Amino acid sequence: GAVVSQHPSRVICKSGTSVKIECRSLDFQATTMFWYRQFPKQSLMLMATSNEGSKATYEQGVEKDKFLINHASLTLSTLTVTSAHPEDSSFYICSAQAGTSGGSSYEQYFGPGTRLTVT
């Protein structure tokens, strides 16, 4: 159980175009999904927290108008990288939280990641 998928797994796009990445929880409902980014030899960095039916909360330094997040249902969140530049090339990973009410430790399940290359 607790499977998270991401699509596409790899994408190459030209500078200035937009790319949409989908994150789906396949066998559970996730009220909260998170988007992370990982540059080579760096740690995963949280970009934003996405709650179903409300606006995403972005971490400091992450441009909300550039990284558009939509969490339309309990099983789907999308990240759109708008007007992509080569410096946006990175490994984008989502996670979905399968928590229980009143629990103190919510596990996060990660998708397989999307490797974006902007040329």
Contact positions vs other proteins (CB under 8 A): 32, 34, 36, 41-46, 49, 59, 91, 93, 95, 97, 99, 103-113, 115
Smallest separation, CB 40 to other proteins (Å): 10
Q: Among residues 66 and 115, whose Cβ is nearest to other proteins?
A: 115
Run of H or E including 5: strand 4-7
| Integer Cα distance of 118 and 52 in angstroms | 29
Return the residue matching tokens 């969140």: 77
Q: Among residues 35 and 88, whose Cβ is nearest to other proteins?
A: 35
Smallest separation, CB 16 to other proteins (Å): 27
Q: Among residues 27 and 59, whose Cβ is nearest to other proteins?
A: 59
Q: CB within 8 A of 83, min separation 6: which ones?
A: 16, 17, 18, 66
Smallest separation, CB 101 to other proteins (Å): 11
Which of 70, 89, 81, 68 minimizes the C-alpha distance to 24? 70
Q: Among residues 24 and 113, whose Cβ is nearest to other proteins?
A: 113
Return the residue matching tokens 């989908």: 22
CA distances from 113 to 32, 37, 54, 110 (A): 17, 9, 24, 8
Smallest separation, CB 105 to other proteins (Å): 5
